[in-house]
């Protein structure tokens, strides 16, 4: 599988280990930076770059790493078509793929131990999307890429008030 990876300086060490791990597993890894833990860089550009690589089809999936995984994941999710998920362990990585069809996995170097991170990476890449009832929800999310002001799929229950978000 072709995988785009990116990190800021705070995620550099974990990203480098993940690159080696994925390469050893036979994946083609495209490392989009950062190039060092020594020089402070801003995570948004790296999260966005990974997201673009996935959305444009230059990579099938992506991996983002920063201190917490949160900021870089927010940046990746700004790219239409990206479903980036912050994961902490095998369970969250598996559910991100199985239920949410996540195409970018985000980890925090400061929040996830090395063994847990590598196990989560393996689970993420080994898990297929379940589809079924989850596809309807993915379609709703994808609809927001085109028009963030309206629900992507009409509600199908009589209890629309309960289902509508409140302002």
Contact 106, 64 (CB under 8 A): yes
Helical pair 12-24 and 114-126, crossing angle rounded to 10 deg: 50
Give the domain CATH number at 17.
3.40.1400.10
Cα(144)–Cα(133) distance, rounded to whole angstroms?
A: 18
- Residue 146 is predicted with a pLDDT of 77
Cα(58)–Cα(145) distance, rounded to whole angstroms?
A: 19
Is 159 a member of any domain? no
Is 106 a known active-site residue?
no
Domain range holding 12?
Answer: 2-130
26: phi > 0 → left, psi -120 to 50 → alpha, else beta; which?
left
**Mean of the per-residue pLDDT values of the chain:** 92
Cα(143)–Cα(25) distance, rounded to whole angstroms?
A: 35
- Residue 162 is predicted with a pLDDT of 45
Is 124 a member of any domain? yes
Cα(54)–Cα(48) distance, rounded to whole angstroms?
A: 10
Report the DSSP pairing between strands 84-86 and 104-108: parallel
- Residue 156 is predicted with a pLDDT of 55
Helical pair 114-126 and 90-98, crossing angle rounded to 10 deg: 20
Is 150 a member of any domain? no
* Lowest-confidence region among 47-56, 65-74, 152-161: 152-161
Number of domains the chain is built from: 1
Residue 7's SS3 state is strand
* Band of pLDDT at residue 159, cut at 50, 70 and 90: very low
93 cis-preceded (ω within 30 degrees of 0): no
What are the pLDDT digits (tens) for 11-46? 999 999 999 999 999 999 999 999 999 999 999 999
Options 9, 64, 66, 106, the catalytic residue = 66
Cα(6)–Cα(65) distance, rounded to whole angstroms?
A: 6
Options 9, 48, 64, 99, the catalytic residue = 99
β-strand partners of 29: 3
Is 64 a known active-site residue?
no
Is 28 a member of any domain? yes
Is 45 a member of any domain? yes
Is 161 a member of any domain? no
Is 144 a member of any domain? no
């Amino acid at each position: 599988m072709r995988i785009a990876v990116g990190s800021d300086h705070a995620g550099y060490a974990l990203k480098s280990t993940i690159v080696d791990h994925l390469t050893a597993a036979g994946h083609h890894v495209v490392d989009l930076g950062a190039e060092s833990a020594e020089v402070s860089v801003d995570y948004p550009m790296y999260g966005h770059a990974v997201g673009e690589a996935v959305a444009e089809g230059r990579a099938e999936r992506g991996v983002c790493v920063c201190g917490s995984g949160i900021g870089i994941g927010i940046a990746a999710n700004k790219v239409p078509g990206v479903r980036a998920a912050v994961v902490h362990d095998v369970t969250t990585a598996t559910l991100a793929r199985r239920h949410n069809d996540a195409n970018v996995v985000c980890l925090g170097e400061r929040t996830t131990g090395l063994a847990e991170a590598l196990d989560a990476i393996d689970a993420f890449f080994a898990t297929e999307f379940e589809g079924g009832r989850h596809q309807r929800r993915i379609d709703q999310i994808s609809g927001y890429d085109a028009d963030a002001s309206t629900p992507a799929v009409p509600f199908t229950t009589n209890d629309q008030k309960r289902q509508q978000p409140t302002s």
